[in-house]
Chain A
């Protein structure tokens, strides 16, 4: 029995059409088929946020989303935030504020922050902290991360 599903997705601005097994998880599709290795697998149960990607501007856990479910959507990873070789202000702010330690959680944090700024360009500190409460940094570098986002929002 053929269990594959045809999907058409805009990934970081490029339209991609593929046939994938129905059980393919979005994270595997992005990492293995699309080569987007910024998407990290960590807790594998929607808790840590390392696998966060944006689907139509909203943050989702790619570890527990089917590739089939993003058919017709726009998916953004941190690679897609770079435009003409220039980092997104959030990415630059993470570098400038030392908000990256081991770096494993960083793409997820940046995308969670991007989703926040897309709907709320001038968040309060409390709103930033609330938007990040589903992302875990095991280096515990939260203060620098919040500072970086505050800076990017005010820039």
Chain B
């Protein structure tokens, strides 16, 4: 499989990159790690006549703590995040998640920003980042805004990012860093994922491969009342009720009813790992 010919642009600034995509229109897109975009172009499922490489722009890979936030540059690779001491200190669940994405070659090339903007419904990072209450900074030639991760994902392969906006940073409030994440994986993608935040309430989010992360309100309320004696039966019932109306994919990897079960198991495991890790607070 080979991609069709395209022109490769290598701007040195965000403004230049954004303006290029705005001027070139539909046939142009931003390019980072390429682990997803190049595959689609090779399979002729996406066609772009212009790729605007973001990797030559300085400062987009920085990872560090700024005030009360862990700030991760969107061009940081999964490998960079997995190896970052700032991330392992303040957000160990994200360290672990990034160390287990796909395989080492994808982690070396793939970027967190590319992963989020691609919005693959089976990807792992979106679910944890919404539970962590992450903010995503989007920059264009003329404007900049920060939107909550929970408002970024609109559907499979669809986000709130405008075509000429560049995702530059992911900002995670330090207090929520202990949110847990668990996944049920077979093959290359997770079949079900769950993340539970430790902040004021037990925000419980799942990934189910069919759409953006879904918040389970009933399950979250049950966990808020949890006195340590919530039975597995009650937890599974709450999850089942929360996802009753959700359109769950059914394919060769797993049927719908099995996926519904795996979602509940992922939530159970995320709750167990939340209990295992004591709150670390803000350091």
Residue ranges of A at the interface with B (Cβ–Cβ < 8 Å): 1, 3, 5, 21-23, 25, 28, 44-47, 49, 52, 55, 58-61, 64-66, 68-69, 112, 115, 131, 133-135
Contact = CB atoms under 8 A, between A and B. Distances in A.
Interface string B47-86: 0000101010000000000000000000000010000000
Interface stretch (B32-40, B158-166, B202-210): B32-40
Interface string B80-123: 00000000000000000000001111101100000000000000
Nearest to A46: B106
B38 to A, nearest CB: 5
B4 interface: yes
Contacts of A28: 2
B34 A59 contact: no
A38 B70 CA distance: 42
Contacts of A131: 104
B228 to A, nearest CB: 33
Contacts of B106: 46, 61, 134
B231 interface: no
B1 interface: yes
A115 B104 contact: yes
Contacts of B186: none
A69 B7 CA distance: 14
A68 B42 CA distance: 16
B6 A22 contact: yes
Interface residues on B, range: 20 to 34
A64 B39 contact: yes
A39 to B, nearest CB: 13
B14 to A, nearest CB: 20
Given A46-B102, A61-B106, A133-B103, A21 B5 contact: yes
Interface of B: 1-8, 34-35, 38-39, 42, 51, 53, 55, 79, 102-106, 108-109, 188
Contact of A69 (B3, B5, B34): B34
B247 to A, nearest CB: 27
23 contacts: A3-B6, A3-B8, A28-B2, A45-B39, A46-B35, A55-B108, A58-B79, A59-B108, A64-B35, A64-B42, A65-B34, A66-B8, A66-B34, A69-B34, A69-B53, A112-B104, A131-B104, A133-B103, A134-B102, A134-B103, A134-B104, A134-B105, A134-B106
Contacts of A46: 35, 39, 102-103, 105-106
Contacts of A55: 108
A152 B187 CA distance: 30
- Which 7 pairs show the lowest CB-CB distances between chains A and B? A134-B103, A22-B8, A61-B105, A58-B108, A23-B3, A3-B7, A64-B38
B188 to A, nearest CB: 6
A55 B105 CA distance: 10
A49 B188 CA distance: 13
A28 B38 CA distance: 14
Contacts of A69: 34, 53, 55
Given A46-B35, A46-B106, A59-B104, A25 B2 contact: yes
A129 B109 CA distance: 21
Contacts of A45: 39
B38 A66 contact: yes
